[in-house]
Amino acid sequence: MSRQGKHRILMVSDFFYPNFGGVENHIYYLSQCLMKLGHKVIVMTHAYGNRSGVRYMTGGLKVYYVPWKPFIMQNTLPTFYGTLPIIRTILIRERITLVHGHQAFSTLCHEALMHARTMGYRVVFTDHSLYGFADVGSIHMNKVLQFTLADVSQAICVSHTSKENTVLRSGLPPERVFVIPNAVDTAMFKPAPVRLSNHEIVIVVISRLVYRKGADLLVEVIPEVCRLHQNVRFIVGGDGPKRVRLEEMREKHSLQDRVDMLGAVPHAKVQSVLVTGHIFLNSSLTEAFCIAILEAASCGLLTVSTRVGGVPEAWSFNVLPDDIIVLAEPDPNDMVMAITKAIDLLPQIDPEEMHNRIKKLYSWHDVAKRTEIVYDRALKCSNQSLIDRLPRYLSCGAWAGKLFCMVMIIDFLLWRLLQLWQPDRNVEVVPDINLTSPHGGEEKWNLGADENEI
């Protein structure tokens, strides 16, 4: 911890801007609010196209786009030890005190947490998704997660359902897993200045058009809703492999004038799409915590959502009040009934009042303060030697445990070799320079001779 008692945090994930999604938004907004609390935050991700090296974002958020290219689904190729030199350099160069990894599917996250623990850093992990237990992919991912979380300091989940799922998959003690929900930037997601007429009902769908997001359900729901309600029109934003099925459905039922396919919608334009509608439809088959629902509610839209994952939990605990969301089973008939109910409720909806309620319920500043408490607890965890930590990996399975121990021993030896080849004192430390903020006050920026600002 620094002299001022503040943390110096390295956020690590394969998923960050210019890619768009819930994880990317979470890291960005959390980092911005943590910096406002006085902490130093650095983000590390892989290169995106020609975006490589060091960049600065709003508020002086420093991002390392390490020269690793994505292998599949924006994930880097697993190397185990290939990222050790650059991660070690960043940790020393920025005088990091804590490493925070995001998303179980991120290769870079798992490797960074492994190397950080080898070097004696405290680590925190945030899980953003729900995974199953039966298919081959989930079994493999759960074993990787068990390895990563065997020696993690603390973990965070975005809902109680997600916490239960993570504890079952990883074997992590429940008392070391905290629940901190996502939030929404209500300053960005505001209702339309003029209330829309209810003569034509517009239902908005903004989602990745993939199986997990329920795109196949939309293929059956949209034609039936259009048949029952002649004044309903759909706006579908998003792209993915299931887009072809939606376009085929539109052609088959001659709904070209009632179903608008927008394609991929940049996050900066999501609000402008949302405010053109009355109802937001979420058809996900699994969801740890759906930020898209919050963004829609903040724009004053009544939400219809499948009763899956953390969504019904939010409803039952009145996090999302039951008068601004209608839940349905992930079944076409039940979803059509829920949409019909939502249409009947529309006259009772006041978009401005809904926006103000969401504004009080969800705040990134609140998320940052709660995350700060997790960081404080993580730094109080004892920092044990490799010999003391190996039994935790050994308990991961008869064969897997021995393999994990071997991986950590090799990682430790490589780290020691790096220390001999380039001692810590030979790594140039980036100075902290206070620059006057254009909004008044001061902001701390890290400036390096080889870095460029954008």
408 domain-assigned: yes
Q: Give domain status of residue 111, yes or no.
A: yes
| pLDDT band, very low/low/confident/very high, at 433 (cuts 50, 70, 90) | low
> What pLDDT does residue 362 have?
86
Per-residue burial over 27-48, b if 16 or more Cβ lie within 10 Å, else e, is bbbbbbbbbeeebbbbbbbbbe
Q: Which residue's structure tokens are 């199986």?
A: 211
pLDDT at 94: 95
Of 362, 397, 420, the position where a domain reaches its end is 362
Asked if residue 110 and residue 174 are part of one domain, the reply reads yes
Strand partners, 234: 203, 259
Task: Return d(Cα 290, Cα 198) in angstroms, integer.
Answer: 26
pLDDT tens per residue, range 359-370: 888 889 999 999
Grade residue 128 by pLDDT with cuts at 50, 70 and 90.
confident
Assess whether 377 and 315 both reside in one domain. no
What is the pTM assigned to this prediction? Answer: 0.84
Span 302-325, mean pLDDT?
A: 71
Please check whether residue 134 lies inside any domain of the structure.
yes
To which H or E segment does residue 447 belong?
none
In a domain, 195, yes or no: no
> Which of 362, 396, 420 is the last residue in one of the domains?
362
* Number of domains making up the chain: 2
Residue at 2 is within a domain? no
**In this structure, is residue 3 part of a structural domain?**
no
Q: Which helix (H) or strand (E) segment is 10 a member of?
A: strand 8-12
Instruction: For residues 344 and 398, state if they share a domain.
Output: no
pLDDT higher than 70, residue 318: no
Q: Are residues 139 and 228 in the same domain?
A: no
Task: Tell me which of 319, 336, 362 is where a domain ends.
Answer: 362
Residue 78's alpha-carbon distances to 111, 132, 152, in angstroms, are 8, 22, 20
Residue 454 lies in a domain: no
Residues 15 and 141 in one domain: yes
- Residue 19, class by beta-carbon neighbours within 10 Å (0-12 exposed, 13-18 middle, 19+ buried)? middle
Q: Which residue range forms the structural domain that includes residue 156?
A: 8-183+365-446
Tell me, yes or no, whether 223 and 350 share the same domain: yes
The residue type found at 210 is V
Q: Are residues 230 and 354 part of one domain?
A: yes
User: 305 near 285, Cβ under 8 Å?
Assistant: no
- Any domain includes 453: no
- Residues 289 and 419 occupy one common structural domain: no
The answer to whether residues 231 and 356 belong to one domain is: yes
Choice among 43-57, 190-204, 232-246, 310-324 with the minimum mean pLDDT: 310-324
Taken as a whole, the chain contains a residue count of 454
Give yes or no: residues 432 and 336 share one domain.
no
Q: What is the CATH number of the domain that holds 255?
A: 3.40.50.2000
Please give the pLDDT value at position 388.
Answer: 86
Same domain, 408 and 422: yes
Q: Are 76 and 107 in contact (CB under 8 A)?
A: yes
pLDDT in tens, 252-261: 999 999 999 9
**Residue 284: CB partners within 8 Å, gap ≥ 6?**
207, 212, 213, 214, 290, 305, 306, 308, 309, 311
295 and 404 in a common domain: no
pLDDT digits over 271-292, tens only?
A: 999 999 999 999 998 887 778 8
Q: Is the pLDDT of residue 437 over 50?
A: no
Per-residue confidence at 436, pLDDT binned at 50, 70, 90? very low
**Does the pLDDT of residue 31 top 50, yes or no?**
yes
Query: Does the structure show a pLDDT above 60 at 1?
Result: no
